[in-house]
Amino acid sequence: GQQLNQSPQSMFIQEGEDVSMNCTSSSIFNTWLWYKQDPGEGPVLLIALYKAGELTSNGRLTAQFGITRKDSFLNISASIPSDVGIYFCAGASGNTPLVFGKGTRLSVIA
């Protein structure tokens, strides 16, 4: 089946720093989505990508659909304490349901 690898698994950063995380797939995807999940809650959609090379922003968040269609990147600029949480990438190809990575746990030190 399709496998998604997210890295890093966790990261600790100072408030104000920029953050980068990525997701790679064992197969080609035609959809990449990025979600954030807080403890005890469901994932919340941040950004959706549908085209190779696409770069999309949502406030301080920017995500890119990799040219190879096997990877995607999420950047957070000028992190703040409320950015704390687990960030998941999700991808799919054809008519398959979304497959999720294992997440990147972000901690922000004030």
Partner 1 sequence: DTGVSQNPRHKITKRGQNVTFRCDPISEHNRLYWYRQTLGQGPEFLTYFQNEAQLEKSRLLSDRFSAERPKGSFSTLEIQRTEQGDSAMYLCASSLGLSGPAEKLFFGSGTQLSVL
Residue 13 within binding range of partner 1, rule CB under 8 A = no
Residue 95 within binding range of partner 1, rule CB under 8 A = yes
Binders of partner 1 in range 41-70 (CB under 8 A): 41-45, 48
Q: Cβ(46)–Cβ(37) under 8 Å?
A: no
- In the DSSP assignment, the letter for residue 67 is T
Distance separating alpha carbons of residues 96 and 15, to the nearest angstrom: 38
Distance separating alpha carbons of residues 11 and 19, to the nearest angstrom: 9
Nearest CB to partner 1, comparing residues 15 and 107: 107
Site for partner 1, rule CB under 8 A: 4, 30-31, 33, 35, 40-45, 48, 88, 90-103
